Amino acid sequence: MRLDPRTKLFMVFVISLIAMMSATTPVLWAIRLIITLIPIVLLILEKKYSSALRFFLAYGIALVLLLFFISENSEGIIASLLIGYCGIVVQFMPALITAWYVIRTTKIGEFMSCMQKMHIPDGIAVSLAVVMRFFPTIKEEYSSINDAMRMRGVMLGGGNVLRMFEFRMIPLLFSCVNIGEELSAAAITRGLGGDSKRSSLIELKLGLADYLLMSFLTAATVIFVMYKYFL
Amino acid sequence: MENNNKKLKAKDFITIGIFTAILFAVEFALGMLGYIHPFIVAAYVIILPLASGIPMMLFYTKVEKFGMITIVSVLLAIIMFVGGMGYLGAPLIIISGLVADFIAKSGNYKSFKKTVLSFGIFNFWICSNYFPILVTAESYRKDLIDGGFSAEYANNLFAAINVKTIGILVVLCFVFGCIGAVIGKAVVKKHFEKAGIV
């Protein structure tokens, strides 16, 4: 199933909106759960089983812990670490899963033509596309830097926090700058930044699935807001 | 030709994207610490400017055109929104980015003092993330506790960030932004100018 990038963006928007408003009653929790399950189901439909399972387990475990083992009165180190872990996961996981799904399944060409259709200024669109693409690169570069340091026996920069930071940050910046140069060379050869309007190979069209999902998300938001603020 | 050089081009947009990604990666890594203890949330105003000083100073020397910081702040606002930081802070992030951009522009992106000042102002985006805590204090607190945080965490958070302390936080943010910028400049000079990257 192919979703339109606009639907995906709308999904990101709605899910982060709902994740932002905290759930307090069972109805709100139910909506939140359903909303979180949508991107997981979509991941399964895209045949990304392992990541779907991983997200599902991480979210599920945190949720169970949070709902059944942690109360207002939990104190102590283990409890506060657990709260930390569960808090992060439950609060940010829905948006994270959605963002992950969107980044993994949207081709950059699709994204750009979608941005063009929505009349987003080129500057923002290009930069946003780069940001989207760049997180995995940063992670990759970072782990290669770590490998290189381990190979030469530099562990944690000798316990000095500043050096620890410097040893990782500087090489990371070096490689990122270089990658940036290559990226812009590649983009310019493909006509980015030219004077004429760019055409796109991909024709975007909203299909039945898009309309269904969008109306479902809208309905969920309306119900959520209704229950939270007016009932 | 002169005018042409001042406008952002495709290459600059890519650089902007890359540095926003780096900035956010730093923010994200440090942000996770905040869940350990709420005082760390308040300490972002110190940690973040110092940590992001290096990449941002490199960024300042890489583009040097009007709009660069504004676009970064718009992107940050979008990311913060998606990351669930709330819609209240987003306009403030963009405003601080815009002001920082104007200051840096007045120094032609070359003046040391103006750059330092501009980065100090830019760091207000960190404070704007506290904004929801201030404005919706009561409901925010309730949300935190209902959302699974302990009462202890919520109490400490509000002890650290409230209407009284926000002034100090903003000032700290600015001061450490300037310090971060100075350190960042020194590091950029030490590593990158020698390597010929700048």
Query: Bigger pLDDT: B53 or B196?
Result: B53
Write out pLDDT tens, residues B124-135: 888 877 777 777
B149: nearest Cα among A87, A59, A75: A87
Alpha-carbon distance B140 to nearest alpha carbon in chain A (angstroms)? 9
- pLDDT above 90 for A215: yes
B97: nearest Cα among B69, B117, B116: B69
Write out pLDDT tens, residues A129-139: 888 888 888 88
Cβ–Cβ of B81/A16 closer than 8 Å? yes
Confidence of residue B83 (pLDDT cuts 50, 70, 90): confident
Cβ–Cβ of A23/B36 closer than 8 Å? no
- pLDDT above 50 for A182: yes
Mean pLDDT, chain B, whole residue set = 81
Q: Which of A131, A173, A193 sits opposite B17 (nearest CB)?
A: A131
Which of A69, A130, A167, A196 is the mutation pick for testing B, counting most B CBs within 10 A?
A130
Cβ–Cβ of B14/A180 closer than 8 Å? yes
- pLDDT above 70 for A156: no
- pLDDT above 60 for B4: no
The pLDDT of residue A211 is 92
Which of A77, A115, A127 is the mutation pick for testing B, counting most B CBs within 10 A?
A127
- pLDDT above 80 for B143: no
Cβ–Cβ of A173/B22 closer than 8 Å? yes
Q: Which two tokens stand for residue A195?
A: 């004077």
Among the ranges given (A8-12, A117-121, A153-157, A205-209), the one the predictor scored with the smallest mean pLDDT: A153-157
Q: How many percent of chain B have pLDDT more than 70?
A: 88
B137: nearest Cα among B119, B155, B113, B122: B155
Cβ–Cβ of B37/A20 closer than 8 Å? no
Q: Predicted ipTM?
A: 0.80
Q: Which of A83, A99, A179 sits opposite B150 (nearest CB)?
A: A83
Domain limits, chain B: 2-193
Cβ–Cβ of A83/B153 closer than 8 Å? yes
- pLDDT above 80 for B139: no
Which of A10, A14, A22 is the mutation pick for testing B, counting most B CBs within 10 A?
A22
- pLDDT above 50 for B176: yes
Confidence of residue A32 (pLDDT cuts 50, 70, 90): confident
Which of B5, B7, B14 is the mutation pick for testing A, counting most A CBs within 10 A?
B14
The pLDDT of residue B1 is 34
SS3 of chain A: the string is: CCCCHHHHHHHHHHHHHHHHCCCCCHHHHHHHHHHHHHHHHHHHHCCCHHHHHHHHHHHHHHHHHHHHCCCCCCCCHHHHHHHHHHHHHHHHHHHHHHHHHHHHHCCHHHHHHHHHHCCCCHHHHHHHHHHHHHHHHHHHHHHHHHHHHHHCCCCHHHHCHHHHHHHHHHHHHHHHHHHHHHHHHHHHHCCCCCCCCCCCCCCCCCCHHHHHHHHHHHHHHHHHHHHHHHC
The pLDDT of residue A181 is 87
Mapping DSSP to helix (H, G, I), strand (E, B) and coil, where does residue B190 land?
A: helix
- pLDDT above 90 for B156: no
Alpha-carbon distance B113 to nearest alpha carbon in chain A (angstroms)? 24
Query: Bigger pLDDT: B26 or B1?
Result: B26
Write out pLDDT tens, residues A196-208: 777 777 778 888 8
Confidence of residue B29 (pLDDT cuts 50, 70, 90): confident
Cβ–Cβ of A75/B152 closer than 8 Å? yes
Alpha-carbon distance A80 to nearest alpha carbon in chain B (angstroms)? 7
Chain A hits for B13, Cβ within 8 Å: 122-123, 126-127, 130
Q: Which of B54, B78, B148 sits opposite A66 (nearest CB)?
A: B148
Query: Bigger pLDDT: A102 or A164?
Result: A102
Helix %, strand %, coil % for chain B, to 5? 80, 0, 20
B157: nearest Cα among B177, B132, B174: B132
